[in-house]
Amino acid sequence: MNMKNFKAIIAGLVLSVSGFANAGLISDVTGNGSIANALDIDGSFSLGANVDIANSEITPWASISSGVESAARYDYYSFTAMAGMNGIFDIDYGRNSGGSFDPELVLFDLLGAVLAQNDDSATSNGASGSVHSYDSFLSHTFAVNGTYIIGVCQFSCGGQQGGMTGNLIPASGTYQLQVSIENHDIPEPSTIAIFALGIMGLVARKVKR
């Protein structure tokens, strides 16, 4: 194998490892405006330092970044949890940051029943990303195993059987939603990522020699 091809392979492996290192970070997509079409975040949980998430190195988390969209909307995200697990849902950078708006959070079960909701919250409830009391924060302990949905809307809004009602997130509205679920499964690194780490270790040893 010539050096040019070897470098290309190493570059690809580095990208694989980089992708795994960024697990937990999710960019919101359009089309998740109902419980039926909620964006599944189950495969995106991770562990690791994140200044915007409390206990990020011991509690599995997923961080969703929602940007400007073409129209006002509701956003729904789905995940699984087991009985007795505690979940924390924390809006960051919603008010007075980027596309400022006043967010609310609504938690549903898979059948659309409202389990909990929150409008405003003390900034002390979140980590460093909680910069305004209008940014919502919700903590909930799940009673049964199942799939659950967390929804984001704009004050004045709320939840009813089947989904959210009231004001939509404005098209210009941006936010980050931090979802932490204790003991949630974390996807294992792929075989290629493990192989990449090994290859890079060997290369590093050769360079040192």
Span 186-207, average pLDDT: 55
Q: Does domain 22-208 have CATH number 2.30.38.10?
A: no
Domain regions of the chain by residue span: 22-208
Rounded distance between C-alpha atoms, residue 62 and residue 177, angstroms: 8
What are 58-98's pLDDT values in tens digits? 999 999 999 889 999 999 999 999 999 999 999 998 876 66
Whether the model pTM is above 0.85: no
Contacts of 152 (CB under 8 A, 6+ apart): 66, 74, 75, 76, 91, 103, 104, 105, 169, 175, 177
Rounded distance between C-alpha atoms, residue 188 and residue 119, angstroms: 35
pLDDT of residue 23: 56
What are 15-60's pLDDT values in tens digits? 444 444 455 788 767 789 999 999 999 999 999 999 999 999 999 9
